A and B are shown apart, each in its own frame.
Chain A
Amino acid sequence: MAKSLHLKLDYDQLTNCMRCGFCLPACPTYRETGVEPESPRGRIALMKAVADGIMDPDLAFQKQMNHCLGCRACEPVCPADVKYGQLIEQARDAIEDHANHSVSVNGIRKLVFQGIFPHRKRLKWLGRSLFFYQKSGLRKVVRGSGVMRLFPQHLSEMERILPEATARGVVERLGTFYPAKGETIARVAFFRGCIMDVLFSETNVNTVKLLSEAGFEVVIPNEQACCGALHAHSGEMELAKQLARTNLKVFKEAGVEYIVSNAGGCGALLVEYDHLLREDPEYHELAKWFASRVIDVSLLVLEHGRIPEFAQANTDSSEPLTITYQDSCHLRNVMKSSSAPRQLMRQVANVRFIEMKESDRCCGSAGIYNVTQPQMSGQLLEHKMEHANRTGAKYLLSSNPGCLLQMKLGIHRSGVSEQMEAKHVVDFLYERIVETPQPSDGTT
């Protein structure tokens, strides 16, 4: 493995780190533990030590690489512009090449990364099964039986907060084309995501309608693939690249000005397709074309759209509705969009936006981190909920499915389900758009 780390790690980036430590206070795992190996500077030093042959990529090393949230809060604060995100992916990729997962973990990884995510149909099947499970009474039986007690607590809690799944994704509900309201400003393509389309398909539908209200005509290519983010972050680099190539072809054909994402996690990988495929002579140019067009829905609406008129939050009471916002790390640190969603939310009439303390800090969701590292994830979530609860917000908004699920979990755990609700920013905005006649959308 030392050899493959040596091959895969970008030695220039390792050298670029001048060990100034500016990234330390930004890093959640460092803040929680206060120990150097849990910091970006420390992790880079470990990678470099492995590349230099001072250290073996032993189990502790692998654990440390997996302990990083990949939130990339360390990147914007780095004076030397070290591409930490790329380094950690390279490290994980090399580790994965040699991983000695137990048979069952291997099976699950294979099922998840190769068996399900790359395949729309199977995802839908999964959605349908989940839907069936949730609706059929089977859930009641399972919960009643206490079977869930056999699973770790965080998994059984997850099961409880999972939103209603559906096999009817955005294309099934709206078709592959949705016209603009009024004069068309631009033609855009919508990236629907995997989890988003199964667990938050309502949000996907609302995203398309919000875009239409803002003046965009929306294409939703049905052949689009998963973005590959979960793969890339877990060291399945080759699969991520395959998925990227599919997307490049599909979206190029759509002939659009922007490629819109409503999930920070997906968007962050999409804007880095050019880096992902930097060594692919055939696709690199196309990847650059693609990456330069990817934009988050909030930023697109704010900067290029007609901002819809937002109605009062709750018309019958004059008491303003309190809302707060949890940044999606990847939206903030990689897509560099932190003010657009806030600006839009503030434009909704009769709401009071209260910034929670450390809203820019990772909530601990981080892809599948909350499943693989329940302890650190739980600790971060606990702090997050203390800050969220202090705002007294009715809605806790966010811009990424992983963060949303984590917020739901946090609300459930801190026992404030009566007072607080987690919501996607798009849903919040769309629900408050002043009704104008809708074009028929086939959602009957």
Chain B
Amino acid sequence: MLDQALSQKLRQIVGENYYRDDREALVAHSYDGTPMLQSLPDGVIYPDNTQQVAEIIKHLAEHRVPVVTRGSGTNLSGGTVPVHGGVVMVMHRMNRILDIDLQNLTATVQPGILTGDFITHIESLGLFYPPDPSSMRISTIGGNIAECSGGLRGLKYGTTKDYVIGLEAVLASGEIIRTGGKLMKDVAGYDLTKLLVGSEGTLAVITEATLKLVPPPKSKKTMIAMYKDLYGAARTVSRIIEAKMIPATLEFMDNPTIRVVDDYAKLGLKRDMDAILLIEQDGDPEAVERDIERIREICESEKADQIEVAKNQEHAEKLLTARRSAFTALARLRPTTILEDATVPRSQIAEMVLRINEIAQKYNVTIATFGHAGDGNLHPTATTDARDADEIHRVELAFEEIFEAAIELGGTITGEHGVGMVKAPYLEWKIGKTGIEIMRGIKQAFDPHNLLNPGKMFANESRKRVVLNRA
């Protein structure tokens, strides 16, 4: 519980209804989308505007009370679990679209707007905002920015960072800064905009964002290719890129995923396939037609067992269903679903999937892998039961080895879900001691008293590398 004077002050700033410290509010903000993590905050606050955010932070800083900024709490890295207590600041009330600039093709929004609502609005104006995390119907733009979320269109269109061109943010001191603007070019000093993107609420509270919009593609085509040989699928991915084509979407499912999806969605997938690729291209109709034809040739030459190009939108939807049901189907298998985020250079996908399967076998756990083949971002997903301590321990060991393997293959421990608490012990593996030091220095400069989302990103202790240093 916060000290009486402080909570009184917070109530004054936002109004009686928007600061809560009853048990119900505390419990309901003690978790996020990450399995098995929970920790109660001391209070929950719902600011309405930047001024309020600044005032709140100032008072909390005076009392050295930590603050965890929260969008919808859908992150999968423990990013919003208040491990050090303090106040959870929910951004949902700050959900307005402030400006749509058709001359500059930009939109300025508050961070609490739901990504899906924003995209719907933008599309109704005949414009396009490409970042499309699968969680977009629930996640917020602020959360997307803080995690630098990616989506199915990431390969061709990039991720959130490629669309954030200006920010307003409140610093740990309560001061307000503005970075970037409605500018396509800006090299005035360090790029603070990009630094805040992906900073996971540890450097500042984002209170406003200016986003770049683009014209929508004119047409789209979808196809699916099934392989008995994992390497055939992987080579297809490399050869598509080598042929200088960038599909809008290039998704992957491995054999365990295919089986589960087929059980669940009854799509008549061939269960003895080692891999399925789902490919979409968009753009001018002739170019799309040409690309899809060439991609089909590549799939054939890599001995795809079966290739289907969607005849119409309805058929395309059916093909897309396979990939979309992957998560749902896996989530229904066992009570606890741990979806990870290991990423490798796309030339290493087949190697990585084989390693994951070996590791799963070694630890006797179930791990199915699907993900964004086009950008090497794989989601090895363990289906397990939080109540089985022994199995959970084996799952943890398996993931540790999976991260190790990813780094060994030139990859990273997270491609889009962020470091948070879950991946903090492994961060040093990826960026090295010096990397950690420089990042800690940046954190120190922004937040000298470690009040913004403490306990995230930097672990007290890094995991020891058991087998590593071979690479």
Contacts and interface: CB of A to CB of B under 8 A. Distances in A.
Given A79-B328, A80-B331, A19 B28 contact: no
B137 A25 contact: yes
A222 interface: no
A148 interface: no
B114 A25 contact: yes
Contacts of B23: 55-56, 58, 60-61
Interface in A38-55: 42, 45-46, 49, 54-55
B331 A18 contact: yes
Interface of B: 22-25, 27-35, 40, 46, 72-74, 90, 92-93, 114, 116, 135, 137-138, 327-328, 331-332, 335-337, 385-387
Best-buried of A20, A22, A37, A49 by chain B (most CB within 10 Å) = A20
A25 B335 contact: no
A37 B33 contact: no
25 contacts: A18-B331, A19-B32, A19-B33, A20-B135, A21-B33, A21-B73, A24-B138, A25-B114, A34-B93, A35-B90, A36-B25, A36-B73, A45-B27, A45-B31, A46-B27, A54-B40, A55-B23, A55-B24, A55-B27, A61-B23, A61-B24, A79-B327, A79-B328, A79-B331, A79-B332
A383 to B, nearest CB: 16
Interface string A43-87: 001100100001110101100100000000000000111000000
A417 interface: no
A81 to B, nearest CB: 5
A65 to B, nearest CB: 11
Chain B binding surface, main DSSP class: loop
Contacts of B28: 35-37, 42, 45-46
A242 interface: no
Contacts of A282: none
Contacts of A54: 27, 40
B104 to A, nearest CB: 30
B24 A46 contact: yes
A79 B135 CA distance: 12
A24 B24 contact: no
B74 A20 contact: yes
A12 B332 contact: no
Contacts of A20: 33, 74, 135, 331
Nearest to B70: A36
A18 B339 CA distance: 11
B135 A21 contact: yes
Nearest to A56: B23
B332 A49 contact: no
Q: How many A residues touch the partner, as a band? A: 20 to 34
A46 to B, nearest CB: 6
B138 A18 contact: no
Contacts of A36: 25, 28-29, 73, 90
A314 interface: no
A42 B328 CA distance: 20
A56 B387 CA distance: 22
A401 B22 CA distance: 38
A16 B334 CA distance: 8
A34 B30 CA distance: 17
Interface string A253-289: 0000000000000000000000000000000000000
Nearest to A46: B27
Given A18-B331, A20-B33, A36-B29, 8 more contacts: A12-B335, A18-B35, A19-B35, A20-B135, A21-B74, A24-B72, A37-B28, A79-B327
Contact of B336 (A15, A60, A61): A15
Contacts of B74: 20-21
Nearest to A77: B137
A399 B34 CA distance: 40
Contacts of B331: 18, 20, 79-81
